[in-house]
Amino acid sequence: MDAKYKKNYLKQVIVRTDFLNPIHSLNEGLPNEISSVIKEFFPIAEPREVLALDFQIGPEAADKKQSKLMEWIFHGKERDKRLSIAEKNMFISFNIYKSFEDLTTPFIRIVDSLFNTFKEMQITRLGLRYTNSINITDTDVFGWKSYLNKDLLSAFNIPEDKTKIARIFHNLELNYGNFNLRFQYGMPNPDFPSPIKKKIFVLDYDAYYEGFLRKEEIIENLPIFHSEIQKFFENSITEKLRKKMNEEK
C-alpha cells in the first residue's frame, strides 16, 4: 500500500482534524501565516461559499436559520491532492498517493500554523483513512482467494448461487483504548442492485481518535495510526497480490 510497492490500489487517502469550537473568523479571510504555508504545497486556490442550515426547536415551533460560510479549498499543481479548511475542520485528501511523509508533512505544517494563529484552538478529532479499491480483470468475479486473506471471503460461501450476489460488505470496529480503527471490506458493486459483474474488492481502513488532542499528540498519533493500518493491510492480502503490486507499471 505504501512506498514499499511499485504501485497500489489506493483510491483515496485522507487525513482530517476537527475543531472543538468553530473558528468563525475563517469566514472573513484566511490569515497570511496560514495561506503562505498552504501555497508551498497547494498552489491552486479555489475558495467557495457554502450554505449552512441551523435548525433550532423551541417550545412553540422549529426555527431554521441559513448562513453563508467559507470553505478554503486548494489543489496541488497536478490536482492530485486537495486541501480544505473551514470553520469546523481541516482535511487533506490524495487521489494519487506516494508516501506517508508526502501526506503528513503539509498536514502537520498547516496544523502548526493554525495553532500559532488561533491560540485558543482545540482539536477534538483526528482521523487517517486509506481506501483501497482492488480492480482485477478476471472472468472469475468472486475468485479472490489467491489475492486476499480467506477469512475476508467467508460470506461468499453462504449463497448456493454466487451469481445472485448484488453486494457484500462488512464492517469491523476495533477499540485500542487510545484510538479506534474501522475496517470496511467487501464488494460494493457500482451497478447495484444488479448482480455483481465487475471484480472490485474494497479494503477501507479508518483510524481515528475522538477527544482533546494537543499539537504534539497529533504528531505522535499519526504514525501510530499509519502503522496499524499498514499491518491490517498486509494481513488482508496474499503474496500473489504483493507480487502484482510490485510489477512494473
pLDDT for the residue numbered 138: 84
Q: Omega of the bond prior to 188 within 30 degrees of 0, cis?
A: no
Contact of 23 with 119, CB cutoff 8 Å: no
Name residues whose C-beta falls within 8 Å of residue 174's C-beta, 6 or more positions apart in sequence.
Answer: 180, 181, 182, 183
Mean pLDDT for 80-96 is 97
* Per-residue pLDDT at 49 exceeds 60: yes
Mean pLDDT for 61-79 is 84
Nearest to 95 by CA among 12, 7, 15: 12
What pLDDT, in 10s, does the model give residues 155-183?
999 998 999 999 999 999 999 999 999 99
pLDDT for the residue numbered 58: 59
What pLDDT, in 10s, does the model give residues 186-236?
999 999 999 999 999 999 999 999 999 999 999 999 999 999 999 999 999
Domain extents in the chain: 10-52+62-245
pLDDT band at 41 (very low <50, low <70, confident <90, very high): very high
Model-level pTM greater than 0.85? yes
Tell me which DSSP letter residue 222 carries.
H
Please, what is the average pLDDT of the chain? 92
pLDDT band at 53 (very low <50, low <70, confident <90, very high): low
